[in-house]
Amino acid sequence: MNKQAAGILHDFKARGILQDMSGPDATVTRIDPVDECTPDSLVFVDSDKFVDAALAAAPAAIVTRPDLAGSFSTLAKTAVLTAANVRLANALLRQAYDDRDFRATEWPRIHSSAVIHDTAQVADNALIGPGAVLGRDVNIGKGTVIMANTVIEEGASIGADSILHPNVVVGYNCELGDRVEVQSGCIIGMEGFGFAQDEERRSHRIPQRGKVVIEDDVVLGANCNIDRATYHETRISAGCKLDALCHIAHNVFLDRDCILTAHTVIAGSTRIGKRMLASGQTGILDHLTITDDVVLVQRAGVISDVTEPGVYAGLPLQPVKDYFRNTAVAQQLVELRKRLRGVEKELEALQKRA
């Protein structure tokens, strides 16, 4: 990085990420975990269990909580920076100084093997990788990177400073905002699963002619699938983060800043409120409404509306405290059954004697 710690402090203190600094100015050339750091490293210490390792390594700079800062007062050559949220400081400092530069490509700005329709509009500083295909009336914004073998169908638009990794498909007329990251294997805007059955239960396709809208600052993990809407739009609102292998069906509305971890599935026409967090393998049925600030854990299965914020688990869905109590009881069912059978036999014996 070759950045002075004082310069880092100035930039990030102004943004409220860092609060203060003690110790000398220090030259930082790398960011490392505590157990692998060098005297030139910046490290993050958000727990007292890492304090001894940091003291032994004496790195160039430490970002830590205010209540732990005094632990490092003996390190004469180490700058100690404090942050109320060390994990957030880690994320933003590494984005600024230790992230992959997707624009540092080994290829020309527009690779000769890319297929770009004459009507497509590509901003002057956008990058188009080998084998990419841009259809009719596609629009690519400033600073956006389209990596190898990605296909963007006709009428689709991608905003500024977005990154589409290799082998992504963006369907016709779909819209992606600014600073969107789409990882390899994602399919955006394929036809939703819509069929009607006749009297003999043969299935007949219902055309899905809507689109997908993905707002700013969304991340889609590898191999996610976002279905286009039947008529209007499937929408992923700003700030949402999806882990790998999530499936969002047609007409779903996902409000701002939701987090979906791997294998989450949301069925068609369901509306999700702000800041929902779904742990792995969560399943949500169609045509439901989930309010803001809901957390779904333990392979939650949602089969009816969720109207109150809170933490829920299991199938049928229940508040997480009830879920753990019921799970504990379920583990004793065999023993309880044996005891019940014993009580029944004793009652039968008493009745005979009576």
Residues designated catalytic: 250
The single residue listed with the structure tokens 């409220």 is 16
Other CB atoms closer than 10 Å to residue 216's CB: what's the count? 16
Backbone region of residue 323 per phi and psi (left: phi > 0; alpha: psi in -120 to 50; beta: other values):
alpha
Task: Measure the CA dihedral 237/240/244/249, to 10°.
Answer: -30
- β partners of residue 266: 248, 284
Which is it for the CA torsion 167, 168, 170, 176, positive or negative? negative
Q: Nearest to residue 187, comparing CAs of 163, 204, 168, 209?
A: 168
Interacting residues of 270 by C-beta distance below 8 A, sequence separation 6+? 249, 252, 253, 284, 285, 286, 287, 288, 289, 290
